Structure 1
Amino acid sequence: MKKQAVAVGFVLFSFMLPTKASAASFDQLYIFGDSLSDQGNVFNATEETFPPRSSYFEGRFSDGPLWVDYLASQLGLKPTLLTDIDFTTIPPTPVPTQGINFAFGGASSGLGNALVPDPRLPGVLKQVLGFAETLKTNNQTADPDALYTLWGGANDFFFINPKDSATPINNISLALNTLVEIGAKNILVFNLPDLGKVPAATIGRNPTTLSQSTSDFNLGLATTVSALSKNPDLNIIPIDIYSLFNQASELGITNAKESCLSRLDICKPGDNKFLFWDDFHPTTGVHKAIADAALAAIDAKSVPEPSINLGILALGAFGAVGVLKRQQKKSALVSAARIVDA
Structure 2
Amino acid sequence: MASSHFLATYNSKVIFCVFVLLWSACEGLIKLPKNVTVPAVFAFGDSIVDQGNNNDMPTVARANFMPYGKDFEGGVSTGRFGNGKTPPDMLAEELGITELIPAYLDPNLKLEDLKKGVSFASGGCGYDPETAKLVSAISLSDQVKLFKEYIGKLKAAVGEAETHYILTNSFYMVVAGSDDLINTYFPLGLQLVYNLNSYSDLMVSSASSFIQEIYKLGARRIAVFSLPPVGCVPSQRTLAGGGYRMCVEKYNRAAQLVNSKLSSECKSLAKKLPKSRVVYIDIYEPLLDLIQRPQNYGFEVADRGCCGTGLIEVIILCNKFSETCPDDTKYVFWDSYHPSEKAYKVLLNQVIQKYVNSFF
Scaled by the length of structure 2, the TM-score of the pair is 0.66
Partner SS, residue 173 of structure 2:
strand
Could you tell me which residue of structure 2 aligns to residue 218 of structure 1? 259
Q: What is the alpha-carbon distance in structure 1 between the residues aligned to residue 235 and residue 35 of structure 2?
A: 35
Could you tell me which residue of structure 1 aligns to residue 316 of structure 2? none
CA pair 63-117 structure 1, distance change in 2 beyond 3 A: closer
Could you give the per-residue CA deviations for residues 211-251 of structure 1, whole angstroms, max 9, x where no partner exists? 12101110111011121333672222332110111221232
Q: What is the alpha-carbon distance in structure 2 between the residues aligned to residue 105 and residue 49 of structure 1?
A: 6
Q: What is the alpha-carbon distance in structure 1 between the residues aligned to residue 223 and residue 45 of structure 2?
A: 12
CA pair 302-155 structure 1, distance change in 2 beyond 3 A: closer
Q: What is the alpha-carbon distance in structure 2 between the residues aligned to residue 168 and residue 226 of structure 1?
A: 16
1:234 aligned to which of 266, 276, 292: 276
2:140 matched to 1:83?
A: no
Could you tell me which residue of structure 2 aligns to residue 6 of structure 1? none
CA pair 48-165 structure 1, distance change in 2 beyond 3 A: closer
Could you tell me which residue of structure 1 aligns to residue 18 of structure 2? none
Matches for 1:192-271 after TM superposition, within 5 Å: 192-205=227-240, 207-230=248-271, 233-248=275-290, 249=293, 250-263=296-309, 268=325, 271=328
Could you tell me which residue of structure 1 aligns to residue 170 of structure 2? 146
1:67 aligned to which of 72, 87, 92: 87
Q: Which has the higher helix share?
A: 2
Partner SS, residue 65 of structure 2:
coil
Q: What is the alpha-carbon distance in structure 1 between the residues aligned to residue 152 and residue 118 of structure 2?
A: 17
CA pair 302-29 structure 1, distance change in 2 beyond 3 A: closer
Percent of pairs with identical residues: 23
Q: What is the alpha-carbon distance in structure 2 between the residues aligned to residue 270 and residue 107 of structure 1?
A: 30
Could you tell me which residue of structure 1 aligns to residue 219 of structure 2? 184
Q: What is the alpha-carbon distance in structure 2 between the residues aligned to residue 83 and residue 51 of structure 1?
A: 15
Which residue type is aligned with residue 283 of structure 1? S
Could you give the per-residue CA deviations for residues 181-220 of structure 1, whole angstroms, max 9, x where no partner exists? 3332111110011111111223444723311210111011
1:99 aligned to which of 95, 113, 117: 117
Q: What is the alpha-carbon distance in structure 2 between the residues aligned to residue 269 and residue 52 of structure 1?
A: 21
CA pair 215-30 structure 1, distance change in 2 beyond 3 A: same
Extract unaligned runs of 5+ from structure 2: 1-30, 70-76, 187-195, 242-247, 311-321
Residues 125, 172 of structure 1: 8 Å contact kept: no
Please say which structure displays the higher CA radius of gyration: 2
When structure 1 is superposed on structure 2, of 237-246 and 134-143 the one drifting more is 134-143
Q: What is the alpha-carbon distance in structure 1 between the residues aligned to residue 141 and residue 205 of structure 2?
A: 10
Residues 80, 98 of structure 1: 8 Å contact kept: no
1:109 aligned to which of 127, 136, 144: 127
Could you tell me which residue of structure 2 aligns to residue 334 of structure 1? none
Could you tell me which residue of structure 2 aligns to residue 318 of structure 1? none
Partner SS, residue 188 of structure 1:
strand
Partner SS, residue 55 of structure 2:
helix
Partner SS, residue 201 of structure 1:
helix
Partner SS, residue 83 of structure 1:
coil
Partner SS, residue 264 of structure 2:
helix
Partner SS, residue 244 of structure 1:
helix
Q: What is the alpha-carbon distance in structure 1 between the residues aligned to residue 106 and residue 323 of structure 2?
A: 37
Post-superposition offset of 1:60: 1.6
Q: What is the alpha-carbon distance in structure 2 between the residues aligned to residue 105 and residue 153 of structure 1?
A: 11
Could you give the per-residue CA deviations for residues 250-304 of structure 1, whole angstroms, max 9, x where no partner exists? 323332222222447997365333221111111111111233234334532242x
CA pair 22-54 structure 1, distance change in 2 beyond 3 A: farther
Which residue type is aligned with residue 182 of structure 1? L
Partner SS, residue 291 of structure 1:
helix
Extract unaligned runs of 5+ from structure 1: 1-18, 87-92, 304-342
Residues 193, 245 of structure 1: 8 Å contact kept: yes
Q: What is the alpha-carbon distance in structure 2 between the residues aligned to residue 69 and residue 258 of structure 1?
A: 25
When the two structures are aligned, how many residues end up with a matched partner? 277
Could you tell me which residue of structure 1 aligns to residue 27 of structure 2? none
2:208 matched to 1:173?
A: yes
When structure 1 is superposed on structure 2, of 234-243 and 293-302 the one drifting more is 293-302
Matches for 1:44-55 after TM superposition, within 5 Å: 44-45=56-57, 50-51=62-63, 53-55=65-67
Q: What is the alpha-carbon distance in structure 2 between the residues aligned to residue 287 and residue 214 of structure 1?
A: 20
Post-superposition offset of 1:156: 0.9
Partner SS, residue 155 of structure 1:
helix
Q: What is the alpha-carbon distance in structure 2 between the residues aligned to residue 272 and residue 104 of structure 1?
A: 26
Matches for 1:303-322 after TM superposition, within 5 Å: 303=360
Residues 110, 126 of structure 1: 8 Å contact kept: no
Q: What is the alpha-carbon distance in structure 1 between the residues aligned to residue 232 and residue 41 of structure 2?
A: 31
Could you tell me which residue of structure 2 aligns to residue 11 of structure 1? none
